[in-house]
Amino acid sequence: MENKRFVRPINNLTKPLLVLYQQSLKCKDRGDLKEAISCLESGLMSTFSTDSSQVSDTPLLAKCWLEYGRLLRADNQHAKAIFALEQCFLSPDHKREAMVFWADLLHEEGYSDCTIAERLTDKLNFASDSKEMCIEILCLIGAYETAYVYYDQEDVESLTGGLKQLYMECLVRLAKYDDALTFASKVMETGQLRQVFYDPIAMDAMLCRWEQGDEEYLNIPNHQLLSEALKRAVKLGFHRLATQIATKDDYLKCELTLHMYSEGYTQAAKYRMDTLHLDTMQDYNKPLAKELSFIKGEMYYDEEDYEIAADLFESLIDLDPLEPSYRFAAASSYLQQSARQMSSKLESSIENNIVMIERTYHYLDIITQSLYIVHRSKWHTDWGPAQRRNRQAMLQFYI
C-alpha cells in the first residue's frame, strides 16, 4: 500500500532545500508560522528521501533543522521541536546554540536539571570538551547548582577563560562565599585578576565581602563603582545587598528597579514601582523616568491592559518621536485591542452569518500576522533562559 503520510505538494518537493529555507524565512517575516513550518518540512523530507544516508553535519542542513526547531517551539509543538534541535548536534557551527535552546525547552517541559545534565552528557559523549560545554549550557539556562556538581573540585585551579568565571559565579550563587573568596585569591596570586571594573571575578569577590560585612560600601564616593556593583548584585541574586546599595540615592533606586526587571524579577520590579511610586509618568525630568515608564508600559501590556499600555507608550512618543521602540510598542498595543474586539465580536455573534464570520477570522489572521511582524522588532524586553527562571521566583527584594 502506498504510504501517504508525508505527502507534500509536488512544487515544494522539487525545490532545493536552500530555496525552501528562504521561502520559510519570508513566511515567518510576514507572520505565517504554519506555512513557514510547511516549507521546511518539505525541504527536509525531500532531502532525506533523496539520500537517506545524509546527516546533519552540513551547515545548510543544520541551519534548517535549527530554524525548524524554533518555529515548532513557537507553534507549541515541543516534542517535534526537541527532535529537530537534536539533529543539529553534529554541526560545529550550530551545536552550542541548538543545545542551549534544546536544554531550555526540556526545562520548560518539566525535566529536572539533573535529567537535563544527564541527557546533555549523553549527547556530548563524542566531544572532547563535553564536560566544559555541559557546564556552560547548564549555566546559560540557570541551572547553576547542577553545573557546580560537574566541576572537578580537585582541579579548579587549572580552569581557564569562561569556565573560571562561571565557577566563581556558581560558588556565589550557592552562597559559598568563603570558597569564592579563596578561589579569587588564588586567581589573584597567579596574576590573572584584573581591576574590579573589568573583571567579573574581582567584582564578585568584592560583593562577597560586602555581603559578609567585611567591607563598608555605603560611604564609597565612587558612584560608578556602586552602579556597576548594583547591577552585578542583582544578576547574582544578592537581593538584600542590592537593596541596601540602592539606598544611596534616587538614581540607584531607579537603577535597581530596571536591573531587577531586566533580570526577570518582574514582580519585584512591579512591587518597587507601585510602592515607591517610581513610575513618574508625569515628571520625565526625574532620573531614568522614561526607562521606568517604558517597562511600566510593558507590565500593563503583559497583563493585557492594552489601553493603559498604549497611553503610556503614546506619552513617550510625544517626548521622543524618533525612538522606534515606543512606536512599535504602541502599535502592538493597538493591534491587541483590535484582536480582542474581533474575538468578542465572534463570541457575541448570534447570527449564523457565514460571510461575516469568515471575514472576522480573516481580519484576526491579519492582526495576528501583524503582531508577529511588530514583535520581530524586539521592542519588548526579551528574557533569556536564566532570566525566565527568575520570573517564577517569589518576591525576594525587601524595601
Q: What is the pLDDT of residues 105-144, one digit of tens each?
A: 999 999 999 999 999 999 988 777 888 999 999 999 999 9
Mean pLDDT of 373-392: 91
User: Residue 157: pLDDT above 80?
Assistant: no
Arithmetic mean of pLDDT over the chain: 86
Residues of the chain with pLDDT > 70, as a percent, come to: 87
The pLDDT of residue 59 is above 50: yes
Q: Above 70 in pLDDT, residue 7?
A: no
Q: How confident is the model at residue 30 (pLDDT cuts 50, 70, 90)?
A: confident
The pLDDT, as a whole number, for residue 349 is 65
Cell numbers that stand for 188 in this block: 589573584
At 44, list the grid cell: 527536509
For residue 241, give the 3-state DSSP assignment.
helix
Cell numbers given for 90 = 553534529
- Please give the Cα distance from 391 to 265 (Å, whole number): 5
Residues 6 or more apart from 233 whose CB is under 8 A from it? 207, 241, 242, 245
CA distance 29 to 23: 10
pLDDT above 60: residue 389: yes
Separation between Cα atoms, residue 66 and residue 299, nearest integer Å: 31
pLDDT(362) > 90: no
- Give me the mean pLDDT over the 68-90 stretch: 94
Specify the pLDDT at position 173: 96
**Ordered DSSP codes for 197-211:** TT-HHHHHHHHHHHH
Higher confidence at residue 268 or residue 190? 268
Share of residues in the chain with pLDDT > 90 (%): 58
Q: Is the pLDDT of residue 255 over 80?
A: yes
Q: Report d(CA 112, CA 360) in Å as an integer.
A: 43
pLDDT of residue 294 exceeding 60: yes
Nearest CA-CA partner of 99 in 76, 72, 77, 122: 122
pLDDT at 121: 93
Res 394: pLDDT: 55
**pLDDT tier for residue 1 given thresholds of 50, 70 and 90:** very low
Count of CB atoms situated within 10 Å of the CB of 75: 14
- Eight-state DSSP code of residue 15: S
* CA 10 to chain CA mean position, Å: 38
Among 245, 170, 78, which Cα is nearest to 70's?
78
Most confident of 15-24, 240-249, 330-339, 386-395: 330-339
pLDDT tens profile 162-218: 899 999 999 999 999 999 999 999 888 776 656 656 688 999 999 999 999 888 887
pLDDT over 90 (residue 348): no
Q: What is the reported pLDDT for 57?
A: 45
- Please, are residues 180 and 144 in contact by the beta-carbon 8 Å criterion? no
| Cα gap 198→18, rounded to integer Å | 43
At residue 263, does pLDDT exceed 90? yes
